[in-house]
A = this chain, B = another copy of it.
Amino acid sequence: MTTEFDLIDRIAGLFSSPEGVAVGIGDDCAVLDPGRFDLVTMDTLVEGVHFRRDWSTAEDVGWKAMAANLSDIAAMGGGPGAFFLSLALPGPPDVAWVDGLLKGMREAAESLVPESFEVSAGGGDITETSGPLVVTLTLLGEASPAGPVLRRGAVPGDRIVVLGATGHAEAGLAVLSAGDAVNRGEFSAMLEAYRRPRPNVRAGGLLGLYGLPSSMIDVSDGLIQDLGHLLKASQVGARVESFHLPIHPEMARLEELNQGSALSWALTGGEDYRLLLTVPPARMPKLWDMAHQYSWEVIDLGEVRSPDEGLQVFGLDGEPLEMESQGYTHFEAS
C-alpha cells in the first residue's frame, strides 16, 4: 500500500538537488542555506477550477503549477530555488497520476529555468481529501543583487511592455470548452499555451539583473486586470493601444467560428504568464537590444500616464473601449 511517506520519498528522488537547502525532506522543517532566499510565492491549483483531468494530463498540471510559481519569481526580477509542495489527494491516491504531476513539475523546471538557478524540493505535506485534488506550491527564490522589481515604481512617461502575446491560454480553454463544435487539431498552439504555459523565467532574471524595468508583474489573471494592479501599486494611470496586441491566426479562426472574441482574450485572458513591465524611455534601446539578443517578443502597448487619467484602453478603431470584465477573479461572479 502506498502511504504519504512513500509519495514523499518519490518527490525527494525526483528533485535530488539539495541546492540552497541544507536539510530537506525528512525533518520537521527544511533548513535553508543562510541568506540564500529572499523571495516567496505560493499558488494553488484546484481540480475542476484550474484544471480538468480530461483536458490536461498529470504532467500538464504539474507543469502549470510550477510555471505559475516560476512566473511570480520572474516578475520580481529574481531566480527560483527551493519549492514546498502540498497535495490534497482523493484517496486511495493514484500513484501514476502523482508521478506524472511530479514529472511535469520537473519538466517545467528543466525547460524554463536558466542554468544559473536550480529548482529543488524542500518539503511539503501530503493529505487526503474527499473532494477535488488540490495542489499548492510554495516557491522560494533569490532577488537580483540590484534588488527586487516591484509592482510599484512606474512613473508617467514610462513605456508599457508585455513580453509575448496574451490570450493564448484562454483561447485554448475556449477550444476545450467548445467540445465537438471545433476541430481541436486546428488549434494546437492555443492548446499548448493552455496546457504548458511558458513564463518568461529567463527574461525576468535578466531584467532584474540589469535593473531595467521601473515596475513589473506577470499576467496571470488577464492583461488589463494585472496592469490595473501595477498601476494601483504605482499610483499612476495608463493609455493602452490594443491594436498593438498580436492576434494569433488560431485566435482569429476561433472568433470566425463564433467561439469568442480574439481581442477580449488578448486583453482579459489569464494564465499566459507573460511579464508585463514598465520601462523608462531612456532604457528602451537596452530592452530592444536584449530582445534581439535573447529572441524575446517585445510588445510596446502604450504609456504610463498621470493617475487622474485612469486606465484608458483604445480599441482597434482608435476609440476608447468599454471593458465589461478585466479578467478572472475568484468568487466575483457567484
Which residues of A pack against B, CB within 8 Å? 1-5, 22-23, 26-35, 37-46, 48-50, 71-73, 75-76, 78, 82, 84-86, 88-89, 91-93, 122-132, 134, 136, 138, 140-141, 143, 148, 150-151, 216-218, 233, 329-332, 334
Report, nearest first, the 5 A-B pairs whose CB atoms are least far apart.
Answer: A131-B131, A35-B35, A28-B75, A92-B334, A4-B330
Q: Looking across the interface, which residue of chain B has its beta carbon closest to that of A131?
A: B131
On whether the beta carbons of A26 and B129 are closer than 8 Å, the reply is: no
What are 6 pairs between A and B in contact, CB < 8 Å? A27-B151, A28-B71, A29-B39, A31-B76, A42-B136, A88-B134
* A107 → chain B closest CB, angstroms: 23
On whether the beta carbons of B32 and A39 are closer than 8 Å, the reply is: yes
A129 neighbours in B (Cβ, 8 Å): 46, 48-49, 131-132, 134
A72 neighbours in B (Cβ, 8 Å): 28-29
A329 to B134, CA, bound (A): 19
Q: Looking across the interface, which residue of chain B has its beta carbon closest to that of A28?
A: B75
A23 to B84, CA, bound (A): 21
A324 to B330, CA, bound (A): 46
A141 to B40, CA, bound (A): 13
A39 neighbours in B (Cβ, 8 Å): 29-32
A32 neighbours in B (Cβ, 8 Å): 37-40
Q: Looking across the interface, which residue of chain B has its beta carbon closest to that of A74?
A: B28
**A43 contact from B26, B89, B125, B134, Cβ within 8 A:** B125
A85 to B334, CA, bound (A): 23
A32 to B39, CA, bound (A): 6
A150 neighbours in B (Cβ, 8 Å): 23, 27, 31
Given A29-B39, A40-B122, A46-B88, A330 contacting B140 (CB threshold 8 A): no
On whether the beta carbons of A34 and B31 are closer than 8 Å, the reply is: no
On whether the beta carbons of A40 and B148 are closer than 8 Å, the reply is: no
* A43 → chain B closest CB, angstroms: 5
* A78 → chain B closest CB, angstroms: 7
A158 to B28, CA, bound (A): 20
A330 to B7, CA, bound (A): 11
On whether the beta carbons of B31 and A143 are closer than 8 Å, the reply is: yes
**A130 contact from B4, B31, B132, Cβ within 8 A:** B132
On whether the beta carbons of B40 and A84 are closer than 8 Å, the reply is: yes
**A330 contact from B3, B217, B330, Cβ within 8 A:** B3
A49 neighbours in B (Cβ, 8 Å): 127-130
**A73 contact from B5, B29, B45, B216, Cβ within 8 A:** B29
A62 to B8, CA, bound (A): 25
* A320 → chain B closest CB, angstroms: 25
On whether the beta carbons of A140 and B46 are closer than 8 Å, the reply is: no
